[in-house]
Structure 1
Amino acid sequence: MHDQEPVRDRPGRRLTTKETAEVLGVKPETVYAYVSRGQLSSRREPGGRASTFDAGEVEALARRNRRESAGSPGSGGELSVRTRITLIDDDRYFFRGVDATELAVRHSYEEVAEWLWTGRLTPGVTFTAPEATVEVARRAVNALPEHTTPTDRLRVAAIAAAAEDPLRFDLSEQAVLNSARILIPTLVAALPPKPFGNRDDGTLAHRLWGRLTGREADEASLRALDTALALLVDHDLAASTLAVRVAASARAHAYAAVSAGLGVLEGPLHGAASGLAHRMLLDVLDRGTAVPVIADELRAGRRIPGLGHRLYPGEDPRARVLFALLEQVPRAEPALLAARDIVATTARHTSLHANVDLALAVLTASTGMPSTAGETIFAVARTAGWIAHALEEYGERPLRMRPSGHYVGPRPPQPLPE
């Protein structure tokens, strides 16, 4: 037997007071309050004593109420979140009101992270972790199977670092920042080093370099990696950042909040894009032209990785900065030409600009890094942004990230299943 079609979904039907209250999620008395305020009209059917309501008008009021609830502070079901961290506007983005690309070009990743956290620049700052914390994280990561993904390794390292920190449940700003300054270098140090890459001094970018490639680090490549980290430190409420804020809203400690972000990041629609672009670049380099590669992608029903961004109708500012730096990187020219070929080939049918995933793929493909390196760079970089959002959320009402479910299942009471 098929479920009956909901009354409110039938064209031309009118709703009873009880049905109207269910759609609006209010008590029946509130329905009449809407009528008295002129927000809802009612009428009595001939021969009937009860009021009925136009289904379309009720649904429109319900949608309006949901929109207003989403924008109201502390409403519990909000989809819009107040933040002072990142603004994306008119093909540009800003960290605490300052152009993010200018910050990334002029300052190290650690300096940009400190700006994001505190609103103050700390020239020359570097993040270091106690040897005991690093050792615990390394042992945990080394126990994983060889085929473990980089994001899995980072998540395990974060859990191990949390277990080593007895102050992790202190959510005061200074305690959280102290944990963050230890967590980020621990994530890097816990990754298996490449040959000649087992160093734990210098900038975070220099240490990360030795975990991503066995090639010697040249100045231009290191600068590109450091700038990429700074460019990717935050990007408003991406899916992983929202997960972090939900965890922080429940007062999970900073390590747990970062773990929530890493869990979402591993999804194929979020963190894996640069890896797909990396493999596509290698395919173009192998075939000598982008034409058959693009054709194969489209024939398989896949979108072309590394192109377009829903927040930037024009050029992705992160890609623009990173491509400019890659012009100075030795051995990057073939991958840069392949990236330009991809953009030019797709431009015959659709005007899509290269995004930061394609620029990141040029960096990883031209420096001997694996296809997973972009995901690692992204995760390490974004950890600082997640900490900033967790800190901001700790200052809000607890458990405010609690939307109400809009039930659309069978109307109760239903008979017990046989």
Structure 2
Amino acid sequence: MANGLDDVVAAETVLSDVDGLGGRLTIRGHSLPELAGRWNYPQVVRLLLDGFFEDLPDDAELATRLGEARVEVFDRLLPSLTLLAPLDVYSAMRAGMALLPDGETLTDALRLIAAPAVLTPALLRLRRGEQPVAPDDKAGHAVDMLRMLRGSVPSPATAKALDTYLVTVCDHGLNASTFATRVVASTLAGLTSSVLAGLGALKGPLHGGAPGPVIEMLDAIEAHGDAAGWLRDEIAHGRRIMGFGHRIYRVRDPRADVLKAVVRQLGGEGETGRRLAFAEEVEQTALEVLRIAKPQRSLQTNVEFYTALVLEAAGFPPQAFSNVFAAGRVAGWIAHAREQQTTGRLIRPQSRYVGPVTDLVA
């Protein structure tokens, strides 16, 4: 039996391929470097959904409809936001999305894709004592998400950075949240039910809940003053070094390189440049410390490390990093849900009972 279903093929997919030995990510026939920074997020949404909705429009019309979906989600959920705001921002976003119709149409899909981009800024503003900012259906998706967060139009460089991030995390094979989504979709539940399963899995610290602690780690190392010493102490106490190691990749996570380039484009002078330079020093120190402490394992930089720096530079607090991850991944979940429903069957694996057996004597 494969513990944790390692190496078990549970689905055939046209959506993405993760080459853990080669360090490559392919999304619908395109390599990650081919997409990230070159395609915008609505274009990648259309790429993922192609073939799963009969009424899928062209790129321009899809971007228009996604903008309209942001407005609809805001208008529909605004009355509920004050009740949701006291929850942690991820749980509040998930609860808000649970209020959306549980249908199977492209309109249902676009509402779900729009929802994290709308709810996250609105909830963060309410938690700061500020009023939510309504969407602009004519703005680009990443631009609008940042505009709703800040109350002003972001710089082109910052909007481009967020857009590239959303593309980078849009899909990644049969990870825990995608598998959870496909399991629920296989029962023929609606898209909202399927996406909520993905959101539940993504919340865990071994999956989408990991980028936030990278910031805590960097802050702790900076305050300590000795990166190598701090890292060795963490390892000695059996604690995980956040941002390093991956269940699939045995070499460097290709998404880390894409996002490192994004941060460099945002860097230069000022706090972002200083933060990047410090993070790069910590990265190199961590790789060397891990190589010596765990020579039997390949613990390379993963997507979490530079995700934290991109989202921090964009203005999101660490507690909302998983929300932004969900804002990018939701399109992939929906594509997988539709693929499972159209080409798969009910997912029903077997279990092996290893508990006690009692023979009852009459």
Distance 1:236 1:197 in 2: 35
CA contact (8 A) 1:138 1:157 kept: no
1:319 counterpart letter in structure 2:
A
Displaced runs of 4+ in structure 1, greater than 6 A?
none
State how 1:118-157 maps to structure 2 within 5 Å: 118=50, 122-124=58-60, 125-126=62-63, 127-128=66-67, 129=69, 131=71, 133-146=73-86, 148-157=87-96
Q: Which of 352, 359, 362 is the matching residue for 1:413?
A: 359
Q: Which of 135, 139, 157 is the matching residue for 1:200?
A: 135
* 1:332 CA displacement: 1.9
Q: Which has the higher contact order (CA 8 A, sep 6+)?
A: 2
Distance 2:142 2:361 in 1: 62
| RMSD over equivalenced CA pairs, Å | 2.8
Mapped pair 1:86 → 2:4: no
State how 1:283-322 maps to structure 2 within 5 Å: 283-322=220-259
* 1:363 CA displacement: 1.5
Distance 2:116 2:361 in 1: 53
Between the two proteins, the alignment pairs up a number of residues equal to: 332
Aligned to 1:161: 100
State how 1:256-271 maps to structure 2 within 5 Å: 256-271=193-208
Aligned to 2:294: none
**Higher helix fraction: Structure 1 or Structure 2?**
2
Q: Which of 342, 359, 363 is the matching residue for 2:282?
A: 342
* 1:187 CA displacement: 2.9
Query: Are residues 210 and 316 of structure 1, via their aligned partners in 2, closer, same or farther at CA, if it must alter by over 3 Å?
Result: same
Distance 1:279 1:242 in 2: 29
Distance 2:177 2:46 in 1: 20
Q: Which of 113, 116, 120 is the matching residue for 1:187?
A: 116
Aligned to 2:317: 370
Query: Are residues 116 and 397 of structure 1, via their aligned partners in 2, closer, same or farther at CA, if it must alter by over 3 Å?
Result: closer
Distance 1:179 1:307 in 2: 36
Normalised TM-score (structure 1)? 0.72
Distance 2:242 2:149 in 1: 22
Percent identical: 32
CA contact (8 A) 1:277 1:305 kept: yes
State how 1:178-257 maps to structure 2 within 5 Å: 178-191=107-120, 192=122, 194=125, 198-201=133-136, 202-210=139-147, 212=149, 217-257=154-194
Aligned to 1:403: 349
Alpha-carbon displacement from aligned partner over 1:169-217 (angstroms, at most 9, x marks no partner): 4x4xxx2x22111222133223325469725121221222245557862
Deviates more, 1:256-265 or 1:280-289: 280-289
State how 1:24-43 maps to structure 2 within 5 Å: none
Normalised TM-score (structure 2)? 0.82
Rg bigger for which structure? 1
Long gaps (5+) in structure 2 = 292-298
Query: Are residues 376 and 293 of structure 1, via their aligned partners in 2, closer, same or farther at CA, if it must alter by over 3 Å?
Result: farther
CA contact (8 A) 2:227 2:285 kept: yes
Distance 2:108 2:43 in 1: 16
Aligned to 1:46: none
